[in-house]
């Protein structure tokens, strides 16, 4: 795992609280599952129809009838349940999922999310992402702060087609954490190795700084 | 009274050129693999297929693509399939991408006699373009229409000759929904059990939804992504 990914995942796992029902997106968010402390009692929801995902099976015990939304073989933990897809998305749209952690391509300062298609490239489909961002009680997006060309993925407005409008509650990158509130986009945490100036330089979107953070980082010129 | 059929070929002849077919499964999990093989053999053309995914190039619904039997695909995710990509890019295949929860609900609605419903999913995205918008106490929703099929193909774990079905673990997925929304539902099962052996409290698909029931001779149950942990 790259260092950026590890930083993001280690920060993201802190979002998961005792007794939460959590949906983890495909890709980097799935890796968060392994980092949840065994002592923490949480239920992971898989949109293909399962509540209570366990760890990957040991070799030889893979069950083709037991997969997660990423089509990976998994196990069911004690107390798990299975259901059909309509019920699974009734749980999602009905607001019964406490937290969803998904990957992102672009996030705007309004909390818009784009994470499913790049015009001109083969479109694979949105899967369950559009339903999840509308329905989960809290939507946390994890992604690198900048793309491979060093450009900000946190935009004034998304250029890519949206997955959802004003749906992001929190954004965790390898540099910082932002919350999306009635006051707009707010920087709430600066991760190790960065300062306010470096975050401003790498962020296209306009944001304010949380008061508590500002007190701590007061020595930086603003 | 029995719905048990012995020939996939005969049952699949209910599908005609130009039909809409709803197919259960998520990825390769819980797909009606014997029915798909028989449909590929039969060669019926110009099909609209409604299914969450479109299989791999050489397995599941991908076999129908290889045969150029599908003219339109309604799905939520179609990655992982080169043949799909080719036919889509050369204009041979029409694709309607539907958010997964909306797809599930459209099929459910089709089977339940609900003609359409309003959902917030997709508002502000390309999916909402051209659809009726309506505000419900401050939440904007779009109108989505039900899906029904001429035929549905589903796969269950256990079934009896009346057509009662029980699915296993996450292979349930879209199967019970598909079973309700086809004018003619063909169910294949791993194990045909005697009447009375299925506990009425645990039946997932009640018998009335099923017209034909077949027991597959073998099940490959291919795994798409084998992930394991250290013992």
Instruction: Give me the pLDDT at residue A219, please.
Output: 53
A180 near A169, Cβ under 8 Å?
yes
What is the share, in percent, of chain B residues with pLDDT greater than 90?
Answer: 95
- Residue B43 falls within a domain, yes or no? yes
User: What residues form DSSP beta bridges with B35?
Assistant: none
Ramachandran class of A29: left when φ > 0, alpha when ψ lies in -120 to 50, beta otherwise? alpha
Domains of chain B: total: 1
Q: How far apart are CA A38 and CA A170, in angstroms?
A: 25
Q: What is the 3-state secondary structure (H, E, C) of A144-164?
A: CCECCCCCECEECCCCCCCCE
Residue B17 structure tokens? 């050129």
A199 token code pair: 């975050």
For residue A220, the model assigns a pLDDT of 52
Contact A109, A205 (CB under 8 A): yes
H/E stretch holding B189 = strand B182-193
Interface test with A, best of B76, B100, B136, B231 (most A CBs within 10 A): B100
pLDDT of residue A50: 98
* B157 compared with B85, residue with greater pLDDT: B157
Pairs of CB atoms within 8 A across A/B: 174
Min Cα–Cα distance to chain B from A111, Å: 12
Does A47 sit within 8 Å of B100, measured CB to CB? yes
Question: Is A131 within 8 Å of B100 when comparing Cβ atoms?
Answer: yes
- In CATH, the architecture of A3-173 is 3-Layer(aba) Sandwich (3.40)
Q: Which of A20-29, A52-61, A120-129, A173-182 is predicted with the least confidence, judged by mean pLDDT?
A: A120-129
Indicate yes or no: CB of B125 within 8 angstroms of CB of A164. Answer: yes
In chain A, residues with a C-beta closer than 8 Å to the C-beta of B95 are 123
Indicate if the pLDDT at residue A80 is higher than 80: yes
Name the residue in chain A with its Cα closest to that of B101. A89
Tally Cβ neighbours within 10 Å of residue B160.
Answer: 23
Q: What SS3 class is residue B8?
A: helix
A129-148 pLDDT, tens digit each:
999 999 999 999 999 999 99
**Residues B27-86: pLDDT tens digits?**
999 999 999 999 999 999 999 999 999 999 999 999 999 999 999 999 999 987 889 989
Structure confidence by residue, pLDDT tens digits, B207-219: 999 999 999 999 9
Is the pLDDT score of A200 beyond 80?
A: yes
Q: What is the pLDDT of residue B40?
A: 98
pLDDT score recorded for residue B89: 87
| CATH number of the domain within which B142 lies | 3.40.1080.10
B75, B121, B227: residue with CB nearest A130: B121
Q: pLDDT averaged over chain A?
A: 95
Task: Find the closest chain B residue to A61 by CA distance.
Answer: B228
Whether the per-residue pLDDT at A218 is higher than 70: the answer is: no
Query: How far is C-alpha B48 from the geometric centre of its chain's CA atoms?
Result: 11
Residue A109 annotated to the active site? no
Q: Is B60 exposed, middle or buried (0-12, 13-18, 19+ CB in 10 A)?
A: buried
pLDDT of B25 higher than 90? yes
Question: Is residue B229 in a domain?
Answer: no
Closest listed residue to residue A160, CA positions, set A199, A129, A131, A120: A120
Of B95, B157, B226, the CB nearest to A62: B226
What dihedral angle (degrees, nearest 10) is formed by the CA atoms of B41, B42, B44, B47? Answer: -50
Strand stretches in A10-71, DSSP E: 21-24, 43-46, 50-53
The residue ranges of every structural domain in chain A are 3-173
Q: State pTM to two decimals.
A: 0.97
ipTM above 0.85, yes or no: yes
Q: Is residue B228 part of a domain?
A: no
Between helix A85-93 and helix B100-112 the angle, nearest 10°, is 120
| Mean pLDDT, residues A3-31 | 96
Residue B154, token pair as written in the block: 């589903």
For A104-138, how does the pLDDT look when each residue is reduced to its tens digit (9 = 90+)? Answer: 999 999 999 999 999 888 889 999 999 999 999 99
CB distance B21 to B151 below 8 Å: yes
Q: Do B226 and A73 touch (CB under 8 A)?
A: yes
Alpha helix ranges (H) inside chain B: 8-12, 33-42, 62-66, 82-89, 100-112, 175-181
CA distance A180 to A85: 30
Taking CB atoms and an 8 Å limit, are A84 and B77 in contact across chains? no
The beta-carbon neighbor of B79 closest among A76, A124, A166 is A124
Asked if A71's CB is within 8 angstroms of B28's CB, the reply is yes
> Which of A48, A58, A86 faces B229 most closely, judged by CB atoms?
A58
Other CB atoms within 10 Å distance of the CB of residue B44: 21
The pLDDT value recorded for residue A222 is 44
First to last CA, chain A: 34
Asked whether the predicted pLDDT for residue A221 surpasses 60, the reply is no
Please count the other Cβ atoms lying within 10 Å of the Cβ belonging to residue A221: 5
Query: Which residue reads 């406490």 in tokens?
Result: A98
Do the Cβ atoms of A125 and B26 come within 8 Å? Answer: no
Contact B228 A56 (CB under 8 A): yes
Q: Which whole-number Å values give the CA distances from B46 to A11, B40, B151, in the listed order?
A: 50, 12, 14
Residue B94 CB neighbour total at 10 angstroms: 13
Residue B191 has pLDDT above 90, yes or no: yes
Q: What distance in Å separates residue A213's CA from the closest CA in chain B? A: 33
Exactly one of A17, A19, A47, A61 is catalytic; name it.
A47
Q: If you measure CA to CA, which chain A residue comes closest to B219? A: A64
Mean pLDDT of chain B: 97
Q: What are the pLDDT digits (tens) for A148-195?
A: 999 999 999 999 999 999 999 999 999 999 999 999 999 999 999 999
């Amino acid at each position: 795992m790259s260092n950026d990914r590890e930083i993001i995942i280690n920060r993201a796992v802190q979002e998961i609280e005792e007794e939460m029902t959590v949906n983890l997106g495909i890709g980097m968010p799935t890796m968060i599952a392994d980092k949840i402390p065994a002592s923490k009692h949480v239920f992971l929801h898989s949109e293909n129809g399962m509540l209570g995902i366990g760890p990957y099976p040991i070799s030889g015990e893979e069950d083709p009838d037991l997969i997660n939304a990423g089509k990976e073989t998994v196990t069911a933990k004690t107390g798990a349940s299975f259901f059909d897809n309509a019920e699974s998305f009734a749980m999602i749209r009905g607001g019964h999922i406490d937290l969803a952690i998904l990957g992102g391509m672009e996030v705007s300062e309004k909390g818009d999310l784009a994470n499913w298609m790049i015009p001109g490239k083969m479109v694979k489909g949105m899967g369950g992402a559009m339903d999840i961002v509308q329905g989960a009680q809290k939507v946390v997006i994890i992604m690198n702060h900048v793309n491979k060309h060093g450009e900000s993925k946190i935009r004034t407005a998304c250029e890519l087609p949206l997955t959802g409008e004003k749906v992001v509650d929190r954004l965790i990158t390898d540099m910082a954490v932002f919350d999306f509130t009635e006051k707009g986009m707010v920087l709430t945490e600066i991760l190790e190795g960065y300062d306010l100036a470096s975050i401003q330089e790498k962020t296209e979107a306009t944001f304010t700084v949380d008061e508590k953070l500002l007190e701590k980082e007061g020595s930086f010129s603003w | 009274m029995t719905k048990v059929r012995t020939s996939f070929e005969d049952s699949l002849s209910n599908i005609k050129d130009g039909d809409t077919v709803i197919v259960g499964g998520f990825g390769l999990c819980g797909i009606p693999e014997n029915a798909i093989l028989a449909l590929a053999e039969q060669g019926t053309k110009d099909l609209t297929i409604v299914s969450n995914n479109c299989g791999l190039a050489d397995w599941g619904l991908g076999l129908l693509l290889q045969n150029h039997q599908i003219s339109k695909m309604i799905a939520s995710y179609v990655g992982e399939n080169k043949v799909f990509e080719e036919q889509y890019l050369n204009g041979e295949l029409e694709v309607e991408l539907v958010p997964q929860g909306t797809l599930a609900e459209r099929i459910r609605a089709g089977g339940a006699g609900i003609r359409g419903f309003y959902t917030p999913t997709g508002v502000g995205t390309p999916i909402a373009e051209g659809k009726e918008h309506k505000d419900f106490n401050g939440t904007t929703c779009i109108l989505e229409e039900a899906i029904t099929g001429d035929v549905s193909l589903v796969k269950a774990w256990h079934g009896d000759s009346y057509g009662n079905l029980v699915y296993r673990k996450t292979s349930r997925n879209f199967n019970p929904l598909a079973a309700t929304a086809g004018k003619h539902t063909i169910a294949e099962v791993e194990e045909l059990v005697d009447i009375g052996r299925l506990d009425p409290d645990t039946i997932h698909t009640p018998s009335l939804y099923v017209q034909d029931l077949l027991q597959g001779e073998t099940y490959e149950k291919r795994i798409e992504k084998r992930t394991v942990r250290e013992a």
